[in-house]
Amino acid sequence: MQENAFAPIGELAKEIARFAPVDGCHTTPVPRLSLFRTSQATAPVHGVQHPALCIVAQGRKQVLLGEDMLTYGTGQCLVISVGVPMAGQVVEATPDAPYLCFKLELDPAMLASLIFEMRLPPVERSRDPLAIAVSEAAPSLADAALRLVRLLGAPGDIAMLAPLIEREILYRLLTGPQAGRLREIATGESRAQQVSRAIGWLQANFTEPFRAEVLATESRMSLSSLHFHFKEVTGLSPLQYQKQLRLQEARRLILAEALDAASAGHRVGYDSPSQFSREYSRLFGAPPRRDIDRLRAAPERFVEV
């Protein structure tokens, strides 16, 4: 990357540090925009991520989706094209050089409108259909992100200017290396849209017994296509995806609502406490009680960043 390409990233880091002065996730008055800061490496944090653009202005992070691990750092961006459960971990951050990240959730309706206005040709199927991908943040993309963050210093301008800058960011993405992946989000019968329908159904019904035939019908795919393309996009089988949704919700119930493990497991659809404990340990690295004790003892290491 040429030296001048780092200039917008350096300025973006300064602005994120300005508007995110303490560690944690900072929601902002700009719709769909969040800023992240942490002064230390973190433990893996599990959660369901929605379609989004993340630009690292300082530090380094790695994400795990199924069996796929991606690492991205200063000057790089991560694009998430469909809602997926994944684990993220900051691996490079210090008090003097904290991890700083810009995150903008993607609006499929705005994407579809922009694709129509741009009169883009039919999208070619991506050679890498996985729902997440890393690329360099072009200076033009980083500059648009910088201007969006700077609006936080002029709140009276947000309502008028934020939508214009957001459209510019989407335009930069639609003309960049991840254009095909993003254009599939807004294409009515693309495989990404079919998988997205399956994901939406699972998210709404994850406590119910898994029924592959029902899911295939909801996603408008055959059973064989459902299993193949679902794993191709998310890195997980539909059943694995459902399990992760169940376990993440159970963890939230134990931590936030003080449920015991057996009650939380039953609430999310487990009939067997031993199976719940076994699968919980496999995902989070410790059985429920020990995991929750660990979360409560050092909450700053498990904050989403």
The backbone region for 285, taken as left when phi is positive above 0, alpha when psi lies in -120 to 50, beta otherwise, is left
Tens of pLDDT, residue by residue over 287-301, are 999 999 988 887 666
> Strands, DSSP E only, in the chain?
24-27, 33-38, 45-49, 52-58, 60-65, 68-73, 76-80, 84-92, 99-105, 132-136
Given a cut of 70, is residue 188 above it in pLDDT? no
The two structure tokens encoding residue 234: 């998310």
The two structure tokens encoding residue 276: 């719940």
CB atoms near residue 29 (< 10 Å): 11
Name the CA radius of gyration of the chain, rounded.
20
Given a cut of 80, is residue 191 above it in pLDDT? no
Alpha-carbon distance of 53 to 148, in angstroms, equals 13
Q: What pLDDT, on the 0 to 100 scale, is given for residue 1?
A: 42
Given a cut of 70, is residue 80 above it in pLDDT? yes
Q: Which helix (H) or strand (E) holds 197?
A: helix 191-205
CA-based nearest residue to 137, from 303, 227, 9, 229 = 9
Pick the more confident residue, 119 or 160: 160
CA-based nearest residue to 294, from 283, 282, 284, 305 = 284
CATH number of 3-185: 2.60.120.10
> Any idea which architecture 188-305 has in CATH?
Orthogonal Bundle (1.10)
Average pLDDT of the chain, as a whole number: 89
Pick the more confident residue, 115 or 305: 115
Burial class of 96 by CB neighbour count within 10 A (0 to 12, 13 to 18, 19+): exposed
Alpha-carbon distance of 115 to 127, in angstroms, equals 21
Percent of the chain's residues with pLDDT above 70:
91
Q: What pLDDT, on the 0 to 100 scale, is given for residue 301?
A: 62
Q: How many residues does this entry show for the chain?
A: 305
Average pLDDT over residues 60-72: 90
Tens of pLDDT, residue by residue over 266-289, are 999 999 999 999 999 999 999 999
Contact 262, 270 (CB under 8 A): no
Average pLDDT over residues 125-143: 84
Average pLDDT over residues 44-54: 89
Alpha-carbon distance of 185 to 255, in angstroms, equals 34
Tens of pLDDT, residue by residue over 195-225, are 888 999 999 999 999 999 999 999 889 999 9
The two structure tokens encoding residue 268: 């999310």
Given a cut of 80, is residue 34 above it in pLDDT? yes
**pLDDT grade for 2, boundaries at 50, 70 and 90:** very low
Average pLDDT over residues 239-248: 94
Pick the more confident residue, 3 or 267: 267
Domain ranges in the chain? Answer: 3-185, 188-305
Residues 6+ positions from 196 with CB-CB distance below 8 Å: 82, 83, 185
